[in-house]
Amino acid sequence: MMLNDMKLILMICVSIACIEGSFAQADENILKTDTVRNKYLPTGVRIGTDVLALVRTRTGDDFHGWELNSEVDFSRYFLAVDYGTWGWDLNSDSASYSNSGDYWRAGIDVNFLKNDPDQNVFFLGARYGRSVFAESLEVARFDPIWGLLTDDFYHSNVNAWWLELTTGLRVKIWKMFWVGYTARFKFALTNEATDEMLPHDIPGFGRTDKETAWGFNYYVMLRLPLRKAPPPPVLKK
């Protein structure tokens, strides 16, 4: 009887040890899963506007537009999305040109300031840009028989798309407030041109008389934290 009791106790101990080992392994797997999952959760979101576009709109008579910028912070990598409007009214003695449209850009930035305690950013990145716009051109000409004549050209819902290489800074100035700039090299422009009228200026890209274009934005931003950033990796000695 005692031998059977000892066998029963031994079986119970072995079973309990196996169950504890299973729970310990399950906890370890959950921890690993959470670690991997949290690695891909954003730590914050920055939302801002381009100050230069607002200044040009207020101080100039020929340009009107604005741009909003948003960045989702994945610790070192950023998902960036921009949306804006853009329009020009250009006049000369013999011609009048105007355009207006919307554009958006989306891409990825990589931060090269890895262990900055304020989470400041120096980045390199890439964008895909797209625009839908309308434009019109009125040209005055003199005909020896009919006198002064005007030719009108117009088309709407014109689509254009391009690529960008970007670099810039984001700097924390106080609590949730940030400032920063983005410099852009724009290339690989494609647009739905017509034989009647070739696009002169594309919102978000710029003039089309060159194959490439440069852009510069200066942002004032607000950062909304979502979770604490993971600690920097410990360097092994």
Do 150 and 130 touch, CB atoms closer than 8 A?
no
**pLDDT of amino acid 234:** 54
pLDDT at residue 19, as a whole number: 38
CB-based contacts of 102: which residues, under 8 Å, 6+ apart? Answer: 83, 84, 85, 86, 131, 132, 133, 203
State residue 76 phi and psi, 5-degree precision: -110, -20
The confidence score (pLDDT) of residue 232 equals: 56
**Global pTM value:** 0.77
Structure confidence at residue 109 (pLDDT):
96
The tens place of each residue's pLDDT in the chain, 237 residues long, gives 444 544 444 454 444 444 344 434 443 443 344 444 556 688 899 999 999 999 999 998 899 999 999 999 988 899 999 999 999 999 888 889 999 999 999 999 999 998 888 889 999 999 999 999 999 999 888 778 887 778 888 888 899 999 999 999 999 999 999 999 999 999 999 988 766 778 889 999 999 988 899 999 999 999 998 877 665 555 555
